[in-house]
Amino acid sequence: MAERKKLPSTFFNMVVVLTLVCVVSALALGFTYSRTKDAIAQGKINKILDALKIVLPEFDNNPYQEKYTLETAPGLIFYPALRDGKRVGTAVQTFSSQGFGSEDIRLMVGFDVSGRIISVSVLGQAETPGLGTKMEEPSFREQFRDKDPASFKLSVKKDGGDVDAITAATISSRAFCDGVDKAYTALQQETER
For residues 172 and 100, the answer to whether their CB atoms sit within 8 Å is yes
Q: CA nearest 51: which of 112, 104, 92? A: 92
23 within some domain:
no
Using pLDDT thresholds of 50, 70 and 90, give the confidence band for residue 40. confident
Percentage of residues of the chain with pLDDT beyond 70: 98
What's the domain count of the chain? 1
48 within some domain:
no
40 within some domain:
no
**Per-residue pLDDT reduced to its tens digit, 142-190:** 999 999 999 999 999 999 999 999 999 999 999 999 999 999 999 998 7
Domain with 90, as residue range(s), is 53-192
- Considering the chain, what is the average pLDDT of its residues? 92
For residues 125 and 105, the answer to whether their CB atoms sit within 8 Å is yes
**Per-residue pLDDT reduced to its tens digit, 1-31:** 567 778 788 899 899 999 999 999 999 999 9
60 within some domain:
yes
39 within some domain:
no
Helical segments of the chain, H only:
11-55, 138-141, 170-192
**Per-residue pLDDT reduced to its tens digit, 81-112:** 999 999 999 999 999 999 988 899 999 999 99
88 within some domain:
yes
43 within some domain:
no
